[in-house]
């Protein structure tokens, strides 16, 4: 309790990817520190890939969606605890 | 090749092109088998085809790119032939070969020919040896930054880097000097690896203010070829075509003949059969450079159909059956003018962000000279798994001015609610004075980038 968190959300209906390409390592893991504007996941919609970035520096607290799962617009994807 | 009529064809695709191919088959009395993913159970190709086979989950690589499942669907439904459409497996030599290995006719060029068309650095070497005009650049893939700098000095800046493994704008970078080229090499190579699994790049002189003009060819199995004139495809956004027309306002009879002859020369060289497209860049002085072969039916084929009166998809089927070309070159006449707008589920006010979702209201344009090729209908849900193309609005009129007025009228009738589409964007382009005059090049849309 007490620590502030924020969530990275999807700008569009699509598919959630944890890595930047198939076979690559996930961009982030739970417990990992991230910088502001660091790419934390990808959304593919209609063959267009969009990189989603951390708003503020912090620590990845929870990954809310499984890799390659469909997501809705504005769905919460990754929870980040603010540093 | 012995002639044998097809009784049943499997369409290894989805969306508007699957519907287009089913229509061609129906008119020829050929039965059809559609394939569909879990996301496409309600798709029009499923409703229109005589049979439909589920080929897997929504993700393309598990369904529409899954060769084993598609071949199994084809053999299981006892079809004679497979039409690949465009995209997906249409230019995959392994798929063409898998069809043949399973006694299925692949409606398109041979596997060997697809492989030859797809390898851009090999194609460049062969063409240069034969004196076909191509854009000056590296003979082969770039092996080091030093080599890139040397070739760039040779052909002169600006230069463009292109991925050997594919197109669509990924792996492409323009450089105006050596410093920019050094940076561009790293970025383009990474993009090419991510997009095509192949980091190889080649380097070309960058042609400023070029037009993208392509020639539709068809060839039979007896070495006969004809071309069906040109398509002007200069209106592009990030290397994706948005508006096409035939003929081109820039191409006169002499240039058309030269482009057509060169296209057929390339086709003959690689033993091309069936329908194909040869892409050229044409500079402002009407110098033209061969770019690449598109070894498939293309999205924009309807504009050629409307000015030639030929059904290109039906021609593909007849040629794949082993029939001879029905016409000689001197029997091909381009009659009138045709324009096509690609309607995408994308928001022009938000940097063309994809806009999947349910269509809540749909009114399609119609009336004289209007053709709409689409797979959408009222309450259809456009899924986020596939391309954003949801339809093509095509018009024909007796000249370009009348065709433009007809397109303006048709766009004003076209209503889609529930998702964003490129219709408002097309309405703006069709009011633009340069566009109306036919003064266009591949950078035309850059001036629209700031106007939201």
- The CA distance from A77 to B149, in Å, is 44
In the structure encoding, which two tokens stand for residue B217, read together? 């060819």
Write the residue in B58, B194, B354 that is nearest to A45 by C-beta.
Answer: B354
Residue closest to B44 by CA, chosen among B422, B372, B415, B410 = B372
**A12 to chain B: which residues are within 8 Å by CB?**
353-356, 384
Write the residue in A13, A20, A68 that is nearest to B357 by C-beta.
Answer: A13
Q: Which CATH number fits domain B136-205: 2.40.100.20, 1.10.10.10, 3.30.1490.20, 2.30.42.10?
A: 3.30.1490.20
Would you call A33 helix, strand, or coil by DSSP? strand
Domain B211-448, CATH homologous superfamily name and number: ATP-grasp fold, B domain (3.30.470.20)
Q: Which pLDDT does position B168 carry in this prediction?
A: 60
Q: Which pLDDT does position B239 carry in this prediction?
A: 78
- The answer to whether the CB of B294 falls within 8 A of the CB of B277 is yes
Taking only the tens place, the pLDDT of each residue in A7-55 is 999 999 999 999 987 778 999 999 999 999 999 999 999 988 888 999 9
- Here the CATH number for the domain that contains residue A45 is 2.40.50.100
B388: nearest CA partner in chain A = A46
- The CA distance from B349 to B358, in Å, is 19
- The CA distance from B209 to B204, in Å, is 15
In the structure encoding, which two tokens stand for residue B146, read together? 């030093």
B231 is a catalytic site residue: no
Q: Which CATH number fits domain B8-107: 3.40.50.920, 3.40.50.20, 3.40.50.720, 3.30.70.260?
A: 3.40.50.20
Range of the domain at A70: 5-82
Contact A13 B386 (CB under 8 A): no
Who contacts B161 (Cβ-Cβ below 8 Å, separation ≥6)? Answer: B142, B148, B171, B172, B173, B174, B175, B181, B184, B185, B188, B201, B202, B203
Question: Which positions of chain B have pLDDT values less than 50?
Answer: 452
Write the residue in A15, A21, A68 that is nearest to B384 by C-beta.
Answer: A15
Secondary structure string (H, E, C) spanning B154-197:
HHCCCEEEEECCCCCCCCCEEECCHHHHHHHHHHHHHHHHHHHC
Does A69 touch chain B if contact means CB atoms closer than 8 Å? no
Given B124, B231, B296, B406, the catalytic residue: B296
Burial pattern B86-100, b for ≥16 Cβ within 10 A else e, equals bbbbbbbbebbbbbe
With tokens 């079809």, the residue in question is B79
Query: How many domains does chain A fold into?
Result: 1
- Min distance A12 CA to chain B CA atoms (Å): 7
Burial class (CB in 10 A: 0-12, 13-18, 19+), A9: middle
**B356 to chain A: which residues are within 8 Å by CB?**
12-14, 45-46
Q: Which pLDDT does position B116 carry in this prediction?
A: 86
- In chain B, where are the structural domains located? 8-107, 136-205, 211-448
**B353 to chain A: which residues are within 8 Å by CB?**
11-12, 48
With tokens 């820039």, the residue in question is B250
Taking only the tens place, the pLDDT of each residue in B247-287 is 999 999 999 999 999 999 999 998 999 999 999 999 988 99
Task: Report whether the peptide linkage leading into residue B238 is cis, meaning its omega lies within 30 degrees of zero.
Answer: no
Q: Which pLDDT does position B452 carry in this prediction?
A: 43
């Amino acid at each position: 309790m007490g620590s502030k968190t924020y969530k990275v959300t999807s700008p569009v209906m699509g598919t959630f990817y944890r890595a930047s390409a198939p076979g690559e390592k996930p961009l982030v893991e739970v417990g990992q520190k991230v910088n502001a504007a660091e790419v934390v996941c990808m959304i593919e919609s209609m063959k267009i890939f969009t990189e989603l970035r951390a708003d503020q520096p912090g620590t990845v607290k929870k990954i809310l969606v499984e890799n390659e799962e469909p997501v809705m617009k504005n769905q919460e994807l990754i929870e980040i605890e603010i540093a | 090749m012995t002639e044998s009529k097809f009784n049943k064809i499997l369409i290894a695709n989805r969306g508007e092109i699957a519907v287009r191919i089913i229509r061609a088959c129906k008119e020829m009395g050929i039965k059809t088998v559609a394939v569909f993913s879990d996301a496409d159970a309600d798709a029009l190709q499923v409703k229109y085809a005589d049979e439909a086979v589920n080929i897997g989950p929504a993700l393309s690589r598990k369904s529409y790119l899954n060769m084993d499942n598609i071949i199994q669907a084809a053999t299981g439904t006892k079809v004679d032939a497979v039409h690949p459409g465009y995209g997906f497996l249409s230019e995959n030599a392994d798929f063409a070969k898998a069809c043949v290995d399973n006694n299925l006719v692949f409606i398109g060029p041979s596997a060997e020919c697809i492989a030859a068309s797809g390898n851009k650095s090999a194609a460049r070497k062969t063409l240069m040896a034969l004196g076909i005009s191509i854009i000056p650049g590296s003979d082969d893939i770039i092996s080091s930054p030093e080599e890139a700098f040397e070739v760039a000095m040779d052909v002169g800046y600006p230069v463009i880097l292109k991925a050997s493994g594919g197109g669509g704008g990924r792996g492409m970078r323009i450089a105006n000097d050596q410093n920019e080229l050094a940076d561009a090499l790293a970025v383009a190579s990474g993009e090419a690896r991510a997009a095509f699994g192949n980091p190889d790049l080649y380097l070309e002189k960058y042609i400023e203010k070029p037009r993208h003009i392509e020639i539709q060819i068809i060839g039979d199995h007896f070495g006969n070829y004809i071309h069906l004139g040109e398509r002007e495809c200069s209106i592009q956004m990030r290397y994706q075509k948005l508006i096409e027309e035939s003929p081109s306002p820039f191409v006169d009879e002499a240039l058309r003949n030269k482009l057509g002859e060169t296209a057929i020369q390339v086709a003959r060289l690689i033993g091309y059969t069936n329908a194909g497209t040869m892409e050229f860049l044409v500079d402002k002085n009407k110098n033209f450079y061969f770019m690449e072969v598109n070894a498939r039916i293309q999205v924009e084929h309807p504009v050629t159909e409307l000015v030639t009166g030929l059904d290109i998809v039906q021609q593909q089927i007849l040629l794949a059956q082993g029939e001879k070309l029905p016409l000689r070159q001197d029997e091909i006449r381009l009659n009138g003018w045709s324009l096509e707008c690609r309607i995408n589920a994308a928001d022009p006010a938000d940097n063309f962000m994809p806009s999947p979702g349910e269509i809540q209201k749909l009114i399609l344009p119609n009336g004289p000279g209007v053709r709409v090729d689409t797979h959408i209908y009222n309450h259809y849900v456009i899924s986020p798994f596939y391309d954003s193309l949801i339809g093509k609005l095509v018009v024909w009129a007796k000249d370009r001015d009348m065709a433009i007025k007809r397109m303006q009228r048709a766009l004003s009738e076209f209503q889609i609610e529930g998702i964003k589409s490129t219709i408002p964007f097309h309405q703006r382009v069709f009011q633009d004075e340069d566009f109306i005059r036919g003064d266009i090049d591949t950078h035309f849309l850059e001036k629209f980038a700031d106007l939201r």
